[in-house]
Each structure stands twice: as structure tokens, then as C-alpha cells.
Chain A
Amino acid sequence: MIEFGYSLQSNRQIDFDLNDRRMLKYVRKNEPSIDWCMSCGTCASGCTAGATSDFSLRRMILMTRRGEEDELKTNIFRCRFCGKCINACPRGVNTRNVIYWMQQAVKNINAL
């Protein structure tokens, strides 16, 4: 899809050559276990915030990996840090710390 300056339709494609990798690098530096995630969705299955909103950690991590920040910005602050995901994750990802640093990344996105 070609994107014109004032087009009504935006480009749906993830351009993986040009995507923003700063967030992933920042989170990875502070919490390396973001790389361990295999997107199984166990975290999202029991998530307290997921019961009343669109928050899904699996999706958040995928978005960070793909550099899709827009949806991340609103949703990432819904986490209640209740800890169910960290109990459940089969890969042993330190989920709450990943969320914390993704939040920091969003807050400091211009300084990254």
C-alpha cells in the first residue's frame, strides 16, 4: 500500500526494515528476560487487568519487539502489578519488571 501525505488509509504493513527498535533495546538492557518470551499467552490468560480491558502482556511484548508503539502507549499503564503473570510464565520471564521498563520506555521515549 503506498502512503500518500494526506491519505485516509494508513499503511497496515509492519515495515521491519524501518521499525523503531529503540524500545526493545532499552527494555532488553534493563530486563533481559524480555527475550525469553515465546508468546504462549499464559500471562494474558490469568491477567487481572485483562479481565476489564484490552491489556495483554503477550501483545505488549510483541508490539515492543515489532516497534509498534502506538497501541502500547495507552495500554501499558493498565497493569496492576498483581503478580499472577509472573507466577504463571513457563519461560520464567520477569514479567512485572518487563512491564515496568516498557512503561519507563514509553515515558522517556524522546530521550531514548
Chain B
Amino acid sequence: MKSIAIIGGGVAGMEAAAKLSRMGFSVTIIEEKDQLGGKLMQWHALFPARRPSAEVLSNLKKQVKLGINTILNARVERIEKNDDGFAIVLNHNRMITAHAILLATGFDIFDASKKEEYGYGIYDNVITSVDLEKAFSSGKVVTAQGKTPKRIGFIHCVGSRDEKAGNPHCSKVCCVTGVKQAIELKEMIPDSEIYMYYMDLRMFGRHFEELYKEAQVKHHIQFIRGRLSEAFENQDNSVLIKIEDTLLGKPLKMNLDLMVLLVGMQPSGGIAGILRDLEVEKDADGFVKQTDNQLAPSKTNTPGVFAIGTVTGPKTIEETISEARAVTLEIADYLHNKVASRILMNENYSL
């Protein structure tokens, strides 16, 4: 039976594992943490309809339970290519072999403390969108002093579209995440005022534009076009910002009880060794390079190595699930071809 090793047990890894297994392949998921789920576990509700992420997570996990070998707390130390496929050496002296590898290692969240001028980790009341999702899950959003915030500001493009942060690319999903979180926050704290400080509003997906309108009309969220240079902290620990309202052409200042940084996605830093061993190329923006954006988006330059999900660039959960389903066919095609070529060469082969 042909075997596939999936590195990464998040949305991409779980969905691909389930579908590949149903097609009759032997699948192993290698996950470095102690449970499957990936970044999905950190989200509370998904855009645009604010559907609870726990639903999606439990659905994916359920599919994986059926006959898929899952190795948790596993770190890939080394990968070697051989005639049959690949030998993957893990920590604790474990090793598995596979005929094909699927990279589903995901992304890294931009570390907002690198943008020191925004005060993350320095000022009390600056948090990231990731922190805010966790606060939503816990059911309570309060300032560091324990008070309910009345004025909250969201800063777009933190760590994205930023040469100085080393990430010139756009992370795609942060704008709609911000709008979604603003609406959730407004529903949680009805008498609060919420402000979005953006450069552009990337409402690219289905129902996203409607979400934007809903935010303005139903929830009176204010959108101000201007990017923050640096934040100040007042004596009472509220955050003072000074930006240019670019549409009006005037400087604007305000005090916020809470400032939320919409942090972006950046290429995963921990897979450098894997990419080196497999000789997989990266694109100019640091994400794994897709062989052909339109016609072969899940293939890498190394035969037998496929990549889906955010390892090849920022994308939404829907897109990731679609890619996971699509790569199933690609991998099947590849493995059957290997079988076919072996038969043609008259080699000894057993299924």
C-alpha cells in the first residue's frame, strides 16, 4: 500500500489525511504539538459568518480518527530521499518511511513585539488579534487593570506590507478578521466605540463586503484611513495614538482603552531544516514556492513533495480545505504514476 507522510496536523493536514485515507492510502500525520488542530484551536469564531471554530475543528478531528496513524509531540530531525520515497527521522529515535510527503506546516504569527513602537509587551493595554480571540473564547474582554474598555482601536497591517518588519507581502485575512472582531467586540460591549485604522480594506471574499457594510451601519464602527507610526502610554495606562487622517489630510489624536494589533502571517521559521533536506524552493516572499500558481498550486519543485495550506502563502480556511481536497487527486496521480512507471520498467512490484 502506498504511504504518505503529512507533516503538520492543522486544518490542511487533517483534511488531506481524511480524504487520502478514504482513497485507500496509508497516511501518517506528524504533529509537533501534543494535539491536532493547529492554529484553528486559537480562533473563537470564523469569518464571515462568525461560525464557531470549534465546530470546524471537531468535524475535522472526527474524520481523522478513522484509521490514520497520528504521531504527536514529533519533531522532524532529518529527511532522506531514497529510491522508494522518503525516510523521515523524528525525535526520540522514531522513523517512518513514505512514498510521498505532504507539507502542511502552516504559518508563524508575526511577533508583534518586533514592532516595538506599538508597545506590545511594553504598554499594558496593547494586545494582538490572537490575544483577542482567546479573550473571546474565555468570554471576557477587559483591560490590564480589569476594567471594561470603552474605546478600542484596531491597527491593520501589523507585520504585513512592511519592509521594516521583513514582510513585504499582504497577509490577506487580517482585514476581514479585524472587521469580524470589531463586530464581535461591539456585540460584547454595546456602549463601546470601535475604530479601525487601516491602509486599505481587503474585503476580497464572498460576503466580506457585506460584513464591512454591516460593521459601519449596524455597529457604527468607524473606519479611519491612516497608519500608526508609534503609540504612547498615558498615566492611567490608556494608549494614546497620533496618526494622520489621510482622507481628510489632518492629524488626528485619540486615547484608547485598548489597542488591538491585527498581526499577519509570515513564513514558518521552523521548517528550514525540512526544506533543506527535501531541497524544496522558497518563493521571494519566504513561503514555499508553488510550481504553477494556476495549474499546479500544490506541487513543489521536488517530485513527491506536495505543499498545501498557509505554508505556501496566506489563505483562508475555506481555501485550505479546498486545497487539501485537491491535492488528494494530485498525490494519487503521482503515486499511481510511480506504480505505472515501475510496471512499465518490469520491476518487482507489489501493492
Bound form: Cα–Cα A31–B66 in Å: 61
Q: Which residues between 119 and 167 of chain B lie within 8 Å of chain A, taking CB atoms?
A: 157, 161-165
Bound form: Cα–Cα A85–B164 in Å: 12
Bound form: Cα–Cα A84–B230 in Å: 10
CB <8 Å contact, B243 and A45:
yes
Interface residues on A, range: 20 to 34
CB <8 Å contact, B244 and A41:
yes
CB <8 Å contact, B157 and A44:
no
Chain B residues within an 8 Å CB radius of A50: 244, 251
How many whole Å from A95's CB to the nearest CB in chain B? 12
Q: Say yes or no: is A97 at the interface (Cβ < 8 Å to chain B).
A: no
How many whole Å from B334's CB to the nearest CB in chain A? 40
* Least CB separation from A42: chain B residue: B227
CB <8 Å contact, A90 and B249:
no
Q: Which residues between 45 and 67 of chain A lie within 8 Å of chain B, taking CB atoms?
A: 45-47, 50, 56, 58-59
Chain B residues within an 8 Å CB radius of A87: 164
Q: Which residues between 214 and 260 of chain B lie within 8 Å of chain A, taking CB atoms?
A: 225-230, 242-246, 249, 251
Q: Say yes or no: is B285 at the interface (Cβ < 8 Å to chain A).
A: no
Which of B161, B162, B246, B249 has most A Cβ within 10 Å? B246
Which residue in B117, B157, B242, B243 is a CB contact (below 8 Å) of A90?
B157
How many whole Å from B19's CB to the nearest CB in chain A? 39
Bound form: Cα–Cα A82–B243 in Å: 18
A62-92 to B contact mask, C-beta < 8 Å, 1/0: 0000000000000000000000110111111
CB <8 Å contact, A40 and B164:
no
Bound form: Cα–Cα A72–B146 in Å: 48
Which residue in A41, A88, A92 is a CB contact (below 8 Å) of B246?
A41
Q: Say yes or no: is A39 at the interface (Cβ < 8 Å to chain B).
A: yes
Q: Say yes or no: is B76 at the interface (Cβ < 8 Å to chain A).
A: no
How many whole Å from A24's CB to the nearest CB in chain B? 20
Bound form: Cα–Cα A84–B249 in Å: 19
Q: Say yes or no: is B87 at the interface (Cβ < 8 Å to chain A).
A: no
Which residue in A56, A84, A90 is a CB contact (below 8 Å) of B227?
A90
Q: Say yes or no: is B199 at the interface (Cβ < 8 Å to chain A).
A: yes
Q: Which residues between 158 and 211 of chain B lie within 8 Å of chain A, taking CB atoms?
A: 161-165, 199
Bound form: Cα–Cα A92–B165 in Å: 10
Q: Say yes or no: is A43 at the interface (Cβ < 8 Å to chain B).
A: yes
Pairs A–B under 8 Å by Cβ, sample size 12? A40-B227, A40-B246, A41-B244, A42-B228, A46-B229, A50-B244, A58-B244, A58-B246, A59-B249, A85-B229, A90-B163, A92-B164
User: B interface vs A, CB < 8 Å?
Assistant: 117, 157, 161-165, 199, 225-230, 242-246, 249, 251
8 closest A-B pairs by beta carbon, nearest first, are A46-B229, A45-B229, A44-B244, A92-B163, A41-B244, A90-B162, A41-B246, A42-B227
